[in-house]
Amino acid sequence: MGRLGVLLLNLGGPDKLEDVRPFLYNLFSDPEIIRLPSPLLQAPLAWLISTLRAKKSQENYKKIGGGSPLRRITEAQGQALRSQLQQNGRDVSVYIGMRYWHPFTEEAIAQIKRDNIEELVVLPLYPQFSISTTGSSFRLLDRIWKVDPDLQKIKYTVVPSWYDNSGYLQAMANLIATELDRVKNPSAAHIFFSAHGVPVSYIEEAGDPYQKEIEACAALIMQRLNRTNPYTLAYQSRVGPVEWLQPYTDVAIEELAQQGVKELVVVPISFVSEHIETLEEIDMEYREIAEHAGIETFARVPAPDTDPTFIQALADVVVKALNDRPKLFSETIQPQKNTKLYPQERWEWGMTQSAEVWNGRLAMLGFLILLLELWLGRAQILQ
Ligand SMILES: C=CC1=C(C)c2cc3[nH]c(cc4nc(cc5[nH]c(cc1n2)c(C)c5CCC(=O)O)C(CCC(=O)O)=C4C)c(C)c3C=C
Ligand SMILES: [Fe+2]
Ligand SMILES: [Fe+2]
């Protein structure tokens, strides 16, 4: 066996407040996050949204210490995974490739080449597949691979998702059980899975399997937990004016409070590391909503981070990937061509040359209207 590498993929986050705007610019420049009818509009819109959103986003990062802990935690996960694999008799180098901030995926790939890695497992740190997360990183890697003959010599395999891995389910069940046993009524507390949302169009138009995988994942964790507590699954972190997956976390919390629920144990389900959406959004924003609505106990299950059962699960996923038939980037789910991703205007795609010209003109007009709408209503749209 040649030199072995594991490339961990994640989204990345701003290390300090000055990084917030360029980080947001990178995120909104990605057509897997926002797809416009004309690629020419992508950069100006990314500039506009990142500029308008930066202040509010910076305030949130300020509340969690002035930056995202994602890089530090992902590096710790990488080191723990390396040690675990070493204990299991595999000598691997672990690399971290973030999609929108340092260390960028491109930086990781350059290091992989310098280290003459011959066999590589590409492992996203998202248990469930979404075209907006794992899909976006795979598409980037596919583009990088296609133009680099040196990379094409590496025998690689990808892991599209691993939400049903037994060790991961056990790690989640253990973390939930520990938190449940701390509340007043462990057998009656309501377990509340809060998954990251995506716009409905990703599922219905682009064929994203994300919702199905999230629903299956919550059910499997409950099975593994083997307790009779009631549970709810809801979706957090929506951005922009379009419809996202429902029920929304804030609405669902209020409804449960109205039904008389007093104890909530919140489980972040799309994330394996603490970051702004657990530390600020759940711990601060949703806690306030819950307390205001009459919830007496608002407990939060920690993200797995470097939990030993979780790290062993990642090691198992790597070993399984090495033993299975190699899977290529191009074999994983790609959004259907010309799918409209957020924002969801009613664009018609032209089949003739003149229709294409008209679409271009309409796109410009639409963009101007969008700019105006963003300007007039930015507080509601972007915060
Ligand atoms: C606008 C669309 C967005 C989609 C779709 C989306 C999907 C998605 N994101 C994560 C995980 C993370 N997102 C993070 C930050 C982040 N994401 C968006 C937007 C979308 N995400 C924004 C605007 C931001 C920046 C923060 C903000 O301004 O609110 C992060 C990094 C957090 C950090 O600590 O820095 C993660 C991780 C998932 C899992 C997901 C879909 C499944
Ligand atoms: Fe988000
Ligand atoms: Fe996000």
Residue 133 Cβ contacting ligand 1 at under 6 Å: yes
Question: Which atom of ligand 1 is nearest the CA belonging to 53?
Answer: 28
Spatial separation of the C-alpha atoms in residues 203 and 173, rounded to whole Å: 27
pLDDT interval class at 257 (50, 70, 90):
very high
Q: Is the pLDDT of residue 354 over 80?
A: no
Q: Which residues is 6 bridged to in the sheet?
A: 94, 121
Q: Which two tokens stand for residue 294?
A: 């009459």
3-state SS class at 317: helix
Q: Please compute Rg for the chain using Cα positions.
A: 21
Q: pLDDT tens, 117-162?
A: 999 999 999 999 999 999 999 999 999 999 999 999 999 999 999 9
- Of 327, 330, 325, the C-alpha closest to 142 is 330
Is 190 known to sit in a ligand binding site? no
Q: pLDDT tens, 87-118?
A: 999 999 999 999 999 999 999 999 999 999 99
pLDDT of residue 2: 77
Whose atoms come closest to the Cα of 70: which ligand?
1
* 336 secondary structure, DSSP code: P
- Mean per-residue pLDDT, 198-206: 94
Share of the chain above pLDDT 70, in %: 87
pLDDT of residue 343: 45
Whose atoms come closest to the Cα of 27: which ligand?
1
Identify the structural domains of the chain with CATH numbers, from first to last.
4-162+309-376 (3.40.50.1400), 166-300 (3.40.50.1400)
* 281 secondary structure, DSSP code: I
Whose atoms come closest to the Cα of 280: which ligand?
1
Specify the pairing of strand 190-196 against strand 263-268. parallel
- Of 222, 227, 298, 300, the C-alpha closest to 257 is 298
Using the structure block, give the residue that is written with the tokens 């960028």.
104
Give the residue, by CA position, lying nearest to ligand 1 atom 3.
33
pLDDT of residue 377: 41
Residues 314/123, Cβ–Cβ less than 8 Å: yes
pLDDT of residue 355: 40
Q: How far is the CA of 31 from the centre of ligand 3 (A)?
A: 14
Q: Is the pLDDT of residue 166 over 90?
A: yes
Q: How far is the CA of 236 from the centre of ligand 2 (A)?
A: 8
Is 196 known to sit in a ligand binding site? yes
The vertex-263 CA angle with 285 and 269, nearest 5°, equals 60
- Mean per-residue pLDDT, 26-54: 92
pTM for this entry? 0.90
pLDDT of residue 39: 86
Number of H helices, E strands in the chain: 14, 8
Share of the chain above pLDDT 90, in %: 83
pLDDT interval class at 22 (50, 70, 90):
very high
Spatial separation of the C-alpha atoms in residues 97 and 237, rounded to whole Å: 23
Residue 130 Cβ contacting ligand 1 at under 6 Å: yes
Q: Where are the alpha helices (DSSP H) in 102-164?
A: 105-114, 134-146, 149-152
Q: Edge-to-edge strand order for the sheet containing 263-268? A: 231-236, 190-196, 263-268, 297-300
Spatial separation of the C-alpha atoms in residues 371 and 160, rounded to whole Å: 36
Q: pLDDT tens, 298-350?
A: 999 999 999 999 999 999 999 999 999 999 998 987 766 555 565 433 333 33
Question: Which atom of ligand 1 is nearest the CA belonging to 198?
Answer: 5
Q: Edge-to-edge strand order for the sheet containing 92-98? A: 92-98, 4-10, 119-124, 155-158
pLDDT of residue 380: 35
Q: What is the ipTM of this complex?
A: 0.94
Using the structure block, give the residue that is written with the tokens 């409905």.
200
Q: How far is the CA of 85 from the centre of ligand 1 (A)?
A: 30
Residue 70 Cβ contacting ligand 1 at under 6 Å: yes
Residue 33 Cβ contacting ligand 1 at under 6 Å: yes
Residues 204/335, Cβ–Cβ less than 8 Å: no
Q: With the CA atoms of 12, 16, 20 and 25 taken in that order, what torsion angle do they form, in degrees rounded to the nearest 10? A: -50
Chain centroid offset of residue 231 CA: 22
Consecutive H or E run containing 6: strand 4-10
Residues 160/320, Cβ–Cβ less than 8 Å: no
pLDDT interval class at 38 (50, 70, 90):
confident
The vertex-238 CA angle with 232 and 239, nearest 5°, equals 180
- Mean per-residue pLDDT, 275-283: 98
Return mean pLDDT, the chain: 90
pLDDT interval class at 366 (50, 70, 90):
low
Around ion ligand 2, residues with a beta carbon closer than 5 Å are 237
- Mean per-residue pLDDT, 345-372: 45
pLDDT of residue 131: 95
